[in-house]
Amino acid sequence: MPCYQMYCFARPDMSAEKLSDFFRGLARLVYREGGGFRRLENLGVRPVAFPVRKSGIRYDEVRWVIATFDVTPSVLETIGAFVLAEKDVLQFKYMASKDRLAEFNAKPPGERRKKLSAAMRWGGVQFDPDTLSMKENTGELR
């Protein structure tokens, strides 16, 4: 089951009780769908680079909250509908967790590549930038 992080911008004046009730409901939804809720980070009210607008109101500061959970990709649509139903949430985005991406990048590439020094060795075939073709190395240095 992939791990996802959801970045959520909520209204800065959203009460603590309402915020905790919202994320308790999100955790219940994740558990009901067979997933696991890992962590919730409330980063507090912070300024944003570009103002967020919702219902004609401009917000220069928003409450940043990051939720980390494990669910199957098919559940993300249900989670999105749940988050959109809350009127105090201004914007949200979920993506694969950094842990999952680091796992993916740690795998060795499927293709073996030669080191540059091995490709340019003495007596091998070299790329000639003047003619844009491969040429046999004659051993002469330019």
Which three-class secondary structure state does DSSP give residue 110? coil
Tokens of 123: 């007596």
Distance CA 140, CA 126 (A): 12
User: Using CA atoms, how far apart are residues 109 and 137, in angstroms rounded to an integer?
Assistant: 30
Q: Output Rg (C-alpha) for the chain, integer angstroms.
A: 26
pLDDT of residue 135: 60
Please tell me which residue, 110 or 77, carries the higher pLDDT value.
Answer: 77
Architecture label for domain 3-105: 2-Layer Sandwich (3.30)
Percentage of the chain beyond pLDDT 70 is: 68
pLDDT, position 96:
81
Q: How confident is the model at residue 102 (pLDDT cuts 50, 70, 90)?
A: very low
* Mean of pLDDT values over 17-35: 92
Burial of residue 47 (CB within 10 Å: 0-12, 13-18, 19+) is exposed
Distance in angstroms (rounded) separating the CA atoms of residues 86 and 65: 14
Beta bridge partners of 29: none
